[in-house]
Amino acid sequence: MLLAKEDRQMVPSAFDDISYNLCKRRDDVLMMSADLAHYVDLYKVTKDLPDQYVEVGMAEQNLVGVAAGLAKAGFTPITSTFGSYASRRCFDQMVICMGTSKNTGICIGFTPGITSPAPIHHQGTEDLGMLRAVPHATVIDAMDVTDFAQALDVACDTPGLVYMRGHRGSTPSWLDAKSFKFELGKTYPLRTGSGVGVISCGHASQWAVEASDLLVGEGFDHSLLHVPTIKPVNEQEIIDYCFAHDQIVSIENHQISTGLGGLVSEITSKVGRAPRITRIGVPDSWAVGGSVGHVRQHLGLDAPTLARRIKEVMQ
Amino acid sequence: MISNSEKRIKTLELWAAKMRRNVVDICMQRGGYAGQGVALSDVGACIYFDEMRPDGSGWYHDRFVNSNGHDTIINFAAMAEMGIYTLEELRTMGADGSPIDQSPIEGARGFEITSGSLGTGVSQAAGIALGERKKGSDKRVICLLSDGELHEGSVWEAFMFAAHYKLSNFIVIIDNNDLGATGKTSDVMAVEPVRDKMEAFGFAARQINGNSIPEVLDAFEEARSTKDKPYAMIADTKIFAGIDVYQDAIPFAHFVGANGRWDTGHLEWEPGWQEILGKIEHLESELAAME
């Protein structure tokens, strides 16, 4: 299976190594920040590879505009900031400067959704919907250090705008690095079963695994599908998965409109007669602030509540 | 005795006159940003036919980013002279199904960026300038923007960035025509004193008459010799400068319709067309006499 059976580890400051190793391998890659480098674990590149680091100050529009310019000069720019800023403060630059270009431009939004402790202003819970509405954009929401690092490698060779959600701080290493291979658009069954199919992406795939652990313990039949590529996703894989189950539950670290649940609903509605889809995430409301655990509990996204909500769809 | 410099200026005046002719030719069909294009032809001629160094394969070693979509009519007007676009193609601008956009999309022949969302070009041009310097290239990057674009905060982010990184290969030309979409820039939201602001942001800056080719050339020369700073050429231009009858008819127009109409006035295309054709003929004979 793709999930490592034992040894579920946490990797501290994962992006520090991911970014450093990437820059060491590819001298065309430039890491960029808008005065948040250390807040997204960018230490080694800034210190040891200063030629591959561009600081623009607290100016996200300029961050993305300059990145697009660097791409037009032959570099592969990777901008980093919080997801709330990456999506809201420079959306036009992502669309116009990167989205209409054939050059690769990568924007990573860290502490996405409710993984930021500061409510509303730091919690970007609508970015996936915004970005997947951009023609030809690539949108990735990885679940752990393994698919995040692999997806970033793929992003570096993907033309046009690539928006990724990032992981900062202590990051899980749950996928089996030996068997997992990230491919753009591919969906990944993490647990097989029938009855309820649980589809998730990004940090919410961690939450889905946690809930699934409880359900496995209770003998509740279900399966898990991790969807790291929001756009362009392999629609046939989504359709095949949905029609193999009686009920579908989507879990996402995002508003339940326009994100993964919306995407799955759109895809299955093209076929019709799909199983019912219960969308779980941030339900058209402002999330509270606080630790992720606290916010998850508040929204019914903690493992026990998620497990209960998954079971409920069969009642 | 005719000096090289006199000949150079006269040659550029002829290029500028031909660009004006092309601007009018295009705008007569379905309307367009004629006033800006005519006014910017002197600056445009200096960029395309003097300042940028040819790359030997029909394009340029240096890079030109036109941030202001409305002003890209001068790119088209110049490229028509270079044979990159035909006037036949350009005359379809504004027609349904035309491949020619009034504000071109990145990838269109001769355009570095998608320029229609104002203010987004300066950061990109600064990024290109930084990138070229990182590669060890001596390419220079010219970015044209309008005074109205100074309303956008992102351009000031870009100016700060260019000065911080000491991008001396970076020149911004601010088309200071006191014209916005709905009125005079000075009425809509005042931007002056532009030169002081650019200097305060760390640029070497000079304010010139943007309809004087010698002044534009001098500013470019000063830009080339500026070290450790980006350069700002604040080019004061006058809408329709270079075609007198249009200035008399509509001294102020953001967009002139094919019928010559703007909400505060009306012009007849034909007299201006004849005026510019006459100027071209005159300049050609003057240049021939210099040979």
pLDDT band at A115 (very low <50, low <70, confident <90, very high): very high
- Where do the H-state alpha helices sit in chain A? 14-25, 44-48, 60-72, 83-88, 91-93, 127-132, 145-155, 203-218, 235-243, 260-269, 292-299, 303-312
Question: How many angstroms separate the Cα of A289 from the Cα of each of A113, A141, A279, B128, B171?
Answer: 11, 22, 22, 40, 45
What's the mean pLDDT when you consider all of chain B? 95
Average pLDDT of the segment spanning B87-112: 96
Average pLDDT of the segment spanning B54-68: 97
Question: How many angstroms separate the Cα of B135 from the Cα of each of B19, B28, B128, B132?
Answer: 34, 44, 10, 5
Per-residue pLDDT, A8: 80
Per-residue pLDDT, B261: 86
Average pLDDT of the segment spanning A38-44: 97
Per-residue pLDDT, A270: 96
For A237-268, the pLDDT digits (tens) are: 999 999 999 999 999 999 999 999 999 999 99
Per-residue pLDDT, B253: 83
Nearest 5 degrees, angle CA B54-CA A67-CA A61?
Answer: 120
Average pLDDT of the segment spanning B98-116: 95
Per-residue pLDDT, B41: 98
Chain A residues touching residue B116 (CB < 8 angstroms): 96
Tell me, yes or no, if B130 comes closer than 8 A to chain A by beta carbon: yes
The encoded tokens of residue B166 equal: 């000491």
Average pLDDT of the segment spanning B92-111: 95
Chain B residues touching residue A70 (CB < 8 angstroms): 127-128, 130-131
Decide if A62 and B123 are in contact by the 8 Å CB cutoff. yes
Tell me, yes or no, if B102 comes closer than 8 A to chain A by beta carbon: no
Cβ atoms B168, B226 nearer than 8 A:
yes
Q: For each of the domains in chain B, give its residue range(s) and CATH number, in order of start.
A: 4-290 (3.40.50.970)
For A186-233, the pLDDT digits (tens) are: 999 999 999 999 999 999 999 999 999 999 999 999 999 999 999 999
For B208-254, the pLDDT digits (tens) are: 999 999 999 999 999 999 999 999 999 999 999 999 999 888 877 88
Across the interface, which of B117, B157, B161 has its CB nearest the CB of A92? B117
Query: Given this chain, do its domains A12-173 and A188-312 carry the same CATH topology?
Result: yes
Instruction: Flag whether pLDDT at A1 surpasses 80.
Output: no
d(CA A237, CA A268): 11
Per-residue pLDDT, A6: 64
What's the mean pLDDT when you consider all of chain A? 97
Across the interface, which of A51, A62, A100 has its CB nearest the CB of B161? A62
pLDDT band at B1 (very low <50, low <70, confident <90, very high): low
Cβ atoms B16, B39 nearer than 8 A:
no
Across the interface, which of B116, B135, B157 has its CB nearest the CB of A74? B135
Percent of chain A scored above 90 by pLDDT?
A: 96
The C-alpha torsion from B61 through B45 and B176 to B278, rounded to 10°, is: -170
Dihedral sign computed on CA atoms, order B122, B123, B129, B132: negative
Cβ atoms B233, B260 nearer than 8 A:
no
Break chain A into its structural domains and give their ranges.
Answer: 12-173, 188-312
Burial class (CB in 10 A: 0-12, 13-18, 19+), B1: exposed
d(CA A250, CA B252): 57
Instruction: Provide the strand spans (E) within B24-67.
Output: 63-66
**Within 10 A of B97 (CB to CB), how many other CB atoms are there?**
5
For B263-281, the pLDDT digits (tens) are: 878 899 999 999 999 999 9
**What one-character-per-residue DSSP string does A212-256 give?**
HHHHHHHT--EEEEE--EEET--HHHHHHHHHTSSEEEEEEEEES
Instruction: Flag whether pLDDT at A132 surpasses 70.
Output: yes
Specify the residue for token string 């601010």: B174
Domain with residues A12-173, CATH architecture: 3-Layer(aba) Sandwich (3.40)
Per-residue pLDDT, B101: 94
Name residue B233's beta-bridge partners: B173, B206
- The shortest C-alpha distance from A122 to chain B (Å) reads 21
Instruction: Flag whether pLDDT at A7 surpasses 90.
Output: no
Cβ atoms B39, B238 nearer than 8 A:
yes
Burial class (CB in 10 A: 0-12, 13-18, 19+), B212: middle
d(CA B87, CA A188): 54
Average pLDDT of the segment spanning A32-53: 98
Per-residue pLDDT, B201: 98
Output DSSP code: residue A38.
Answer: G
Decide if A66 and B123 are in contact by the 8 Å CB cutoff. yes
CATH 3.40.50.920 fits A188-312, yes or no: yes
Percent of chain B scored above 70 by pLDDT?
A: 99
Instruction: Flag whether pLDDT at B259 surpasses 90.
Output: no
Cis peptide before A189 (omega within 30 of 0): no
Tell me, yes or no, if B99 comes closer than 8 A to chain A by beta carbon: no
Tell me, yes or no, if B64 comes closer than 8 A to chain A by beta carbon: no
